[in-house]
Amino acid sequence: MAVEVKAKPTAEVETEQLLTGCEAIAEAIRLADVDVMAAYPIRPYDGVMQAAAKLIANGRMDVEYIVADGEHSQFEIVKHASAVGSRVFVGSSGVGWFYAFEAIAVTAGLRLPVVAICGNRALDDPGAFGTEHNDSLAVRDLGWLLPWAETAQESLDLALMAWRVAEDKRVSLPIAIGLDGAFLTHSQQLVKVPTQAAVHAFLPKYDLGDRLLHPDNPITIAPQVDQDWLMEIRRQNDAAMRKALGVITEAHADFKRIFGRGGDDPFLDEYMTDDAEIVFFGQGTLALPMKVAIRRLRKQGHKVGLVRLKWFRPFPTEATVRSLTRFKAVGVIDRDYSFGSPFYGGVLYNEVRSALYSQAKRPTVVGFIAGLGGREIEQPMAQEIFDKTMAAGRGDLSVGDQCHWVGVRD
């Protein structure tokens, strides 16, 4: 059974602290009163390990902290802990995430609300620490909810949202929050840390109901099945993912009411789009240099804005279509690759194109692959992205509806 909530020496006022994205996640673990977390070190996720261990050592957090013998065991531990009624946290990065892949797949299949972070990191080889989204994106079809954070504050906020959404009985699916390696995981930013009372008001206790694996509730979970069963089980996951959109919307509204943060839309964060003709579309920290570029371009008289995607899964198709059909051209920036995909575009690019396909009026979509391996998005790159998107908006088909690599040496 879940560990009883103990009174903790938490100041009952909201504080502002200078925290890395990882430390902000650790604060969320404390505030959510997580019962079990499983850890295995890999950069950049391991920042959470260290921060959580410090909170425990300092007597500020009470959590069963299990250091596993590898990522596969790490994810299996929390899956099982979740099945017996524990609120859990786990995380990894890059190829560590991949080493856990079997456990990651079965967690979604089993509908267990595991909350994870994926500290986004390039996949080996070559060994690299910088951010790329292909680790998180590898699970995009499996039933994991995948939000991406832009700031340390959003990391904490999304984590609190994550337990609420994942554990909601209408959803009951795992969530992996994408945190860009280094830029977010290892950079300290000012973060408002809410009070325990506010978090309690927002986040109900974890309750698996009649799915709780307990001797008093004899059930079998995850039996072997044949073709007579699997499709119905997949269809249930599909229904849960569809319902997640509404549950996220509810949670977002409650979050705004209780904490006063979160923006207008649960799924999209729009910047200077009111009169925009051209927008950039992307997720994670690349929004920051692009906003810098937008302000510079606006000074030159260009009507340009940004639409940042906050939840990649479930993909907010309706909201995305509603937003993007307002513009002439959209430059989708992927911090990922999908070798051999249509137009050799990134994952996001092809998702956006697919969402827009059935619209009578749709913008020209240009794809950009940028910032791989944690390469910084510098202003000349942002300028190139703008120029090509602008050209596409003017009807230059040599740049539109295709994909370009930006900031790569020839």
Partner 1 sequence: MTTQAAPAKTTDITVEVVYRGIFQKTLAQRICRGVVLAARRSGHPGTAFARYGDSPERNGVPAKQFAVVAVDDTQLEASMARYEPSIVDVTVAVDDTLVKGVESWAWYGRQPIWKPTKPGGVVIVTSDRTADEIIAQTDKAEKPYTLAVVPGGASFAGLWVYKDDHTDWRVMGALAKVAPEWLPLEHVKALVREQTKDEGAVASVQFGHDATVLREVKPGEGTSGHEVLQFEKPGWTTMRPGIVVDARKPGERNPFYKKYSARTQRPVVNFDTCIKCTMCWLDCPDECFEVTPTGHYEVVYEACIGCGICAQVCPVKDCIVMVDELKFEKNDNVWQRWQSDRESYNRWFEATTGVSVAPPKTKAAAAAAGGDD
Binding site for partner 1 (CB under 8 A): 109-112, 172, 210-211, 218-223, 225-229, 231-233, 235-236, 239-240
Choose between 169 and 362: whose C-beta lies nearer to partner 1. Answer: 169
Closest approach, Cβ 213 to partner 1, in A, equals: 9
Distances (CA, A) of 331 to 319, 337, 342: 17, 15, 16
The partner residues of 89 in beta bridges, in order of sequence, read 37, 115
Choose between 239 and 397: whose C-beta lies nearer to partner 1. Answer: 239
266 token code pair: 């649960």
Choose between 222 and 408: whose C-beta lies nearer to partner 1. Answer: 222
Choose between 55 and 240: whose C-beta lies nearer to partner 1. Answer: 240
User: Crossing angle of helices 230-259/101-109, nearest 10°?
Assistant: 90
Cα(178)–Cα(347) distance, integer angstroms: 15
Closest approach, Cβ 229 to partner 1, in A, equals: 8
Cα(265)–Cα(273) distance, integer angstroms: 13
DSSP string, 23-49: HHHHHHHHHTT-SEEEE---TTTHHHH
Closest approach, Cβ 315 to partner 1, in A, equals: 22
Closest approach, Cβ 117 to partner 1, in A, equals: 23
Calculate the CA 186 to chain-centre distance.
17
**Structural element, H or E, at residue 37:** strand 36-39
User: Are residues 253 and 280 in contact, defined by beta-carbon separation less than 8 angstroms?
Assistant: no
Cα(114)–Cα(95) distance, integer angstroms: 19
258 token code pair: 């209780």
Choose between 226 and 274: whose C-beta lies nearer to partner 1. Answer: 226
331 token code pair: 């430059």
Closest approach, Cβ 405 to partner 1, in A, equals: 42
Choose between 225 and 397: whose C-beta lies nearer to partner 1. Answer: 225
364 token code pair: 């020209």
The partner residues of 147 in beta bridges, in order of sequence, read 311
Closest approach, Cβ 106 to partner 1, in A, equals: 10
Choose between 36 and 208: whose C-beta lies nearer to partner 1. Answer: 208
User: Are residues 191 and 17 in contact, defined by beta-carbon separation less than 8 angstroms?
Assistant: yes
Choose between 220 and 398: whose C-beta lies nearer to partner 1. Answer: 220
The two beta strands, 88-92 and 115-120, are parallel
Closest approach, Cβ 182 to partner 1, in A, equals: 37
Closest approach, Cβ 231 to partner 1, in A, equals: 8
